[in-house]
Copies of this chain bind each other. A is one copy, B any other.
Amino acid sequence: MDSSAPPRRITIVDVARHARVSTTAVSKVLRNAYGTSPAMRAKVQAAITELGYRPHAGARAMRGQTYTIGVMLPDLRNPFFPDILDGLTDHLRDTGYQVLLGPSHCNGEEAEAKVTEAMIDRGMDGLILVAPIAPRTHLEQIARLVPTVVVGRHGHSTAYDTVADDDTTGAKLVVDHLAGLGHRHIAHIEHHETNPTRLAEMPNAIRAEGYRAAMRAHGLEPDVVSTSYTREGGYLGAQQILTRPRRPSAIFAGADIVAIGVLEALTEAGLAVPAGISVAGYDNTNFAALGPISLTSVDQAGHHIGATAARLLLDRIADRTRPTAQVKLSPTLVVRRSTAGPPA
């Protein structure tokens, strides 16, 4: 019945014939290229809408641009990333660029490489890599092939632009807040890292270092537990902290998702928050604001980060020789009900 063969796609040739111009002319109109009169533009535009023509991205990929931007996200479960994505898409809304996401899924370096390769193979015009774990040389290699912006990773490169939160300041904000409330023993849960490059460039490592520096500035002794930036990491980290001979009066989790795991472990252990122990997170993800949770957290302005990344990428696509930029954005502390003075 309805098993009619799919209709042949409308091509630029159909449009050209319908508008009685050359395919070159249509192509020029499509790309706002030089050499078209207003009259011709109107004719072509009319033909395009009348026929419902849409350019074939595959064919475009062979000669020019695909008007596609690839975004690599490491972990869809971390609610911070949608904030970045919102900023990105808001900024790219009316630019004619389409955003496609590559899920790397915490499967490590290999999965990440596969996704970036897939994006390059598909002729994407630009790449935004969020918190990539690949070695720096690999990132520079990618950036030489296609305009690239790296988000959420520190370190200067001449090949790609970067946008990151000032994690040192962020960690200091939390420590200052807790110390100001009277806490003397503040533990920190970090994402375990041994690779030397990443130790210098990844946000988790910078946050841990910022925490240590801030603690020492207050004359306090750092107490770091290494797990991972996941809910399980928070759960296990908190359990480990609870076995300490002297229990900390506050826990600074390196990410909100970690804080969630911490809260679970504390509830299980029968500890009230903040009466028995204070908890702070990082990222100010949307569930931090939820009534029953009400987590004190560091806000990274994810939306702003995403918008900045989009802007830098468009600039780089326009001019690949422009010197690279390193944008660092200042975080702010959002105090909620999960932090209070230490128990008497």
A56 touches B123 (CB 8 A): yes
Q: Which 5 A-B pairs have the closest CB atoms?
A: A58-B61, A267-B291, A101-B101, A264-B291, A57-B122
Interface residues of A, Cβ cutoff 8 Å to B: 2-4, 6, 54-62, 66, 68, 70, 76-77, 79, 81-82, 85-86, 89, 98-103, 105, 114-115, 117-118, 121-123, 140, 144-145, 158-159, 231, 260, 263-264, 266-268, 273, 286-287, 289-293, 321
Known: A76-B81, A103-B101, A145-B6. A55 touches B121 (CB 8 A): yes
Known: A61-B61, A62-B58, A100-B102. A77 touches B79 (CB 8 A): yes
What is the distance, in angstroms, from A77's C-beta to the closest C-beta of chain B?
5
What is the distance, in angstroms, from A39's C-beta to the closest C-beta of chain B?
28
What is the distance, in angstroms, from A100's C-beta to the closest C-beta of chain B?
5
A89 to B75, CA, bound (A): 13
What are 23 A-B contacts defined by CB distance under 8 Å?
Answer: A2-B144, A3-B321, A54-B117, A57-B58, A57-B121, A57-B123, A58-B61, A68-B122, A76-B85, A77-B82, A85-B103, A85-B105, A98-B114, A100-B122, A101-B101, A101-B103, A122-B122, A231-B286, A260-B291, A263-B292, A264-B289, A264-B291, A287-B287
What is the distance, in angstroms, from A203's C-beta to the closest C-beta of chain B?
20
**A267 neighbours in B (Cβ, 8 Å):** 291-292
A63 to B327, CA, bound (A): 42
Cβ-neighbour of A62 out of B62, B85, B99 (below 8 A): B62
A289 to B287, CA, bound (A): 13
**A66 neighbours in B (Cβ, 8 Å):** 58, 122
What is the distance, in angstroms, from A95's C-beta to the closest C-beta of chain B?
13
- Quick one: closest B residue to A9, CB to CB? B145
Cβ-neighbour of A2 out of B68, B77, B103, B158 (below 8 A): B158
- Quick one: closest B residue to A100, CB to CB? B100
Cβ-neighbour of A105 out of B4, B89, B102 (below 8 A): B89
A54-B121, A56-B121, A70-B100 are known; give 9 further A-B pairs, CB within 8 A.
A2-B159, A57-B123, A59-B62, A66-B122, A98-B118, A101-B103, A264-B291, A268-B291, A273-B292
Interface centre among A58, A76, A98, A263 (most CB of B within 10 A): A58
A62 to B63, CA, bound (A): 12
What is the distance, in angstroms, from A300's C-beta to the closest C-beta of chain B?
16
**A287 neighbours in B (Cβ, 8 Å):** 260, 287, 290
**A158 neighbours in B (Cβ, 8 Å):** 2
What is the distance, in angstroms, from A11's C-beta to the closest C-beta of chain B?
11
A10 to B159, CA, bound (A): 22
- Quick one: closest B residue to A105, CB to CB? B89
- Quick one: closest B residue to A158, CB to CB? B2
- Quick one: closest B residue to A107, CB to CB? B89
**A61 neighbours in B (Cβ, 8 Å):** 56-59, 61
A85 to B107, CA, bound (A): 14
Cβ-neighbour of A58 out of B60, B89, B144, B290 (below 8 A): B60
**A102 neighbours in B (Cβ, 8 Å):** 100-101
A208 to B141, CA, bound (A): 53
- Quick one: closest B residue to A235, CB to CB? B291
